[in-house]
Amino acid sequence: MLWPSAAVATKFGLQVAQPFVICITRFFIAGLLMLLISHGILRKRLPQKNEWKQLAIYGLLNISLYLGLYVLAMQHVSAGLGSLAIATNPVLISLMATLIFGHRLRLVTIASLLLCMGGVLLAAWPLFKHSFATPGGISLLMLSMIIYSAGVIYFSKQKWGDLHILTINGWQTLLGGLFLLPVAIATYDKTKNVWGFKMMAPVLWLAIPVSIIGVQLWLYLLRDNAVKASFWLFLCPVFGFIIASVMMQEPIGLLTIIGMLLTLAGLYLVQKNKSE
């Protein structure tokens, strides 16, 4: 539910701020808060040696490139389509795991993928008639999803030892923001940014419920099984359509409801067979 809310929050933020200003503000608030809790309150250890390299690479993939491209894409596609794109990640993650690591695609996984993707496309059909999107925006969106899926695979294959999840999330978020900072400075235009409640409300939502709470839950799932965890992303369009309908008046019809039910059926199938 938190994950697709980011698309709507981003759309509101883009009305009064530049894409990279939203990104940098969000990442620094979220990163510093998490590190304050992790190291200042919980007294968790700092990363060591090779862990810094792992965090930098993960931050580059998961924060700088993925979310940097995503917020650019959201200038040119609707909130509903932004949520829809997230649901392509289970397919990309499964295929990458198969191609790179030789993971076997079981029959139940293929069946679940087909059910979920069919449900997502069916649910999205009304949006293509009523929402705007440009070829460039869709291309940026899909490129961001490919990079995000690569980040998921990278995270799942690294040895993090006893490094606390809050520490991992805090440092990867802060490092990702630092990598984007030169771009934000180079493209900053003060006439396009109206600092105030209309900017900070969506930024704070993106920073705390999404970047901190949502990502913490996601990293917890990834430590169990990245491919199976990715199937939960099929719920993003379900919640995304509802949130976009309430907040931005995007349509929900019979096809959307049927598509949601198919998506839930596919998710149930793969979770029921999680031990396989």
Structure tokens at 115: 């059910």
pTM for the predicted model, two decimal places: 0.83
Whether the Cβ atoms of residue 221 and residue 38 lie closer than 8 Å to each other: no
Supply the mean pLDDT for the chain. 87
> Which DSSP string do the residues of 130-171 spell out, in sequence order?
HS-B-HHHHHHHHHHHHHHHHHHHHHHHS--TT--HHHHHHH
What residues contact residue 149 under an 8 Å CB cut-off, 6+ apart?
89, 92, 93, 96, 230
Q: What would the pLDDT profile of 229-247 be if each residue is shown by its tens digit?
A: 877 887 888 888 888 888 8
- Residue 228: strand, helix, or coil: helix
C-alpha–C-alpha distance, residues 134 and 76, integer Å: 6
C-alpha–C-alpha distance, residues 266 and 276, integer Å: 15
pLDDT score of 130: 64
Q: Where are the domains of the chain?
A: 2-100+133-224
Q: pLDDT tier at 257 (50, 70, 90 boundaries)? A: confident
Highest mean pLDDT among 148-162, 197-211, 249-263: 197-211
